[in-house]
Amino acid sequence: MLDLQIIEAPMSRDRRWMYEDWSVSDPNSNWCKKAQEFVNLAFSYPSVNSEGVHCPCSKCGNFKKQNEYNLSHHIVKNGFVQNYFVWTYHGETAPADEEFDDRDHLNDMLHDFADANHAQEAMDEAEEFYNLLEASEKPVHDHTKETTLSAVTRLINFKSQFNVSAAGYNTLMKLICDLLPENSVIPKSFNESKKMLSSLGMPYEKIDACYNGCMLFRKEHMDKTTCDKCKEPRYHQRDSSGLNKHLKPVARKVLRYLSIIPRLKRLFMSEEIAKYMGSHKETHSDKPGVMMHPSDGEAWKHFDKEFPEFAKEPRNVRLGLCTYGFTPFSFSAAPYSCWPVFLVPYNLPPSMCMKKENIFLTLVIPGPQHPGKNWDVYMEPLYDDLKLLWDDGVQVYDRSVRTTFNLRACYFYSINDLPALGMISGHSTHGKFACPVCLGTVSAFWLVNGNKYCWFDCHRQFLPMDHSFRKSLKAF
């Protein structure tokens, strides 16, 4: 570790330049000059050894040590790690009022939520919110600083991380309540804890589906008990003895949908994220053929020309969709394929948009088989939200500028492997015309003994006509 003593840094303590002026296209830019001053300062202390110093790039995050050359390369390529305004790993000590900040910032988050919803929430929802705000300020008991909301949040996280059952959670809460003073304020059960956190407003919807994927039991089909197409029953058959006749019927297949609208609103409730949602308008590469952001691509520019009204508001969100099947159980169990669907907001800088906290899990399509040709059926709730966001938009509070605006969104990209592409697009990815690029011009041929199509030696068709490989029969 470096000798962390208070030093007089030769550079200004205004470190906003680290994130606002990052550009790798001009080596003589102000950002590059200041970054070089930082590198010189970091390696100027006598305590630096052969291992180098902690690398503050967004990939290493001050966890790995690099030599001077690699550290410079990492900073230019990846930029600085977020919020590294006090260089504690490179010779500085945090000021006294910043050194120990162990607050959970729940109050800040709730006040952001209040600002965003002050003109939109109904009275009953407002009452739930103020109860939540009170829980974030009131300690569990008189001899601790731990608030009720903070304690419940940590306990729910514990249950999720270690897969504790509801009964196990209730038993743990009973033990905690017995150990705490009688005047302690904390939920006594799992249901009470869930009820408290539900006011944060990140809901998900369970939608019954046909077992064969023919239809969803929603909207006008909400009350139906059989599929219109295949006549499969919606619910599991009850016990013929009649012992369970009073229990709620259990659906054979359930689709989980996490609406994207409240999640997009939550992005703009965070001041740190909201200020980057329109930054792509100013962040462009000055070097031809170099992309610093998807907005430098031809697809983005073409979309702006086709829909200028949408492009006029830089905060309007462009979404990328990706999906992949996985087996949630062990291979020794019965085969089961589950298909999650993710959405990525491409407005954010590349260093942020692919972080897991900014990727939305939107749909969880149940198995046991892949959705196949019924993919569009499971996409119905997402389609409805995307249509609303495209046609009308929704009112969203932008915390960074303290104003409300009409947010619109569009489905912009798909990132999938070939089998998933076949399901989403409806284009067959099997047989002679499997390639979605070649289509009818494909040069595949049938293997008589192998009983399948082969694309061997078809890649030379993309070479220039005068390329030497076209006539190189021995090499191919």
Give residue 105's pLDDT. Answer: 55
Are 227 and 275 contacting, i.e. CB atoms less than 8 angstroms apart?
A: no
Beta strands 254-257 and 205-208, pairing class: antiparallel
408/279 same-domain check: yes
Whether 218 maps to a domain, the answer reads no
297/420 same-domain check: yes
Are 114 and 133 contacting, i.e. CB atoms less than 8 angstroms apart?
A: yes
271/187 same-domain check: no
From first to last of its 476 residues, the chain has per-residue pLDDT tens of 333 333 344 455 667 778 776 765 566 678 888 888 888 888 887 777 778 888 888 888 787 888 888 888 888 888 888 778 788 788 776 554 444 344 455 555 555 555 555 444 433 444 555 566 566 566 777 777 778 878 888 888 888 878 888 899 999 888 988 888 877 888 888 888 888 777 666 678 999 999 999 999 999 999 999 999 999 999 988 766 555 566 788 899 999 999 999 889 888 887 888 888 888 887 776 777 778 888 888 899 999 999 999 999 999 999 999 988 887 766 555 678 888 999 999 988 888 888 887 888 999 998 888 888 888 899 999 999 999 999 999 998 888 888 888 999 999 888 888 888 888 887 777 777 888 777 777 778 888 888 888 877 777 777 888 888 888 877 77
Domain boundary, last residue among 99, 123, 147:
99
Whether 432 maps to a domain, the answer reads no
Q: How far apart are CA 322 and CA 411, in angstroms?
A: 11
Position 403: which residue type?
Answer: T
Whether 416 maps to a domain, the answer reads yes
Position 127: which residue type?
Answer: E
334/456 same-domain check: no
89/183 same-domain check: no
E strand map for 85-185: none
Are 121 and 166 contacting, i.e. CB atoms less than 8 angstroms apart?
A: no
Q: How far apart are CA 39 and CA 60, in angstroms?
A: 15
CB atoms within 10 A of CB 174: 12
User: What total of structural domains would you count in the chain?
Assistant: 4
295/397 same-domain check: yes
Give residue 125's pLDDT. Answer: 45
379/281 same-domain check: yes
Whether 355 maps to a domain, the answer reads yes
Whether 300 maps to a domain, the answer reads yes
Q: How far apart are CA 55 and CA 36, in angstroms?
A: 13
Are 213 and 377 contacting, i.e. CB atoms less than 8 angstroms apart?
A: yes
SS3 helix, strand, coil % of the chain, rounded to 5?
40, 15, 50
Whether 8 maps to a domain, the answer reads no
Domain boundary, last residue among 66, 99, 132:
99
Domain boundary, last residue among 181, 200, 219:
200
402/262 same-domain check: yes
**Residue range of the domain that includes 445:** 439-471
Query: How many residues does this entry show for the chain?
Result: 476
Whether 382 maps to a domain, the answer reads yes
Q: How far apart are CA 10 and CA 38, in angstroms?
A: 9
Cis peptide before 350 (omega within 30 of 0): no
57/167 same-domain check: no
89/112 same-domain check: no
281/414 same-domain check: yes
Q: How far apart are CA 390 and CA 383, in angstroms?
A: 10
Are 18 and 84 contacting, i.e. CB atoms less than 8 angstroms apart?
A: yes
Q: How far apart are CA 25 and CA 285, in angstroms?
A: 7
Whether 289 maps to a domain, the answer reads yes
Are 40 and 92 contacting, i.e. CB atoms less than 8 angstroms apart?
A: no
DSSP 8-state symbol, 59: T
Are 180 and 146 contacting, i.e. CB atoms less than 8 angstroms apart?
A: no
Are 71 and 89 contacting, i.e. CB atoms less than 8 angstroms apart?
A: no
297/389 same-domain check: yes
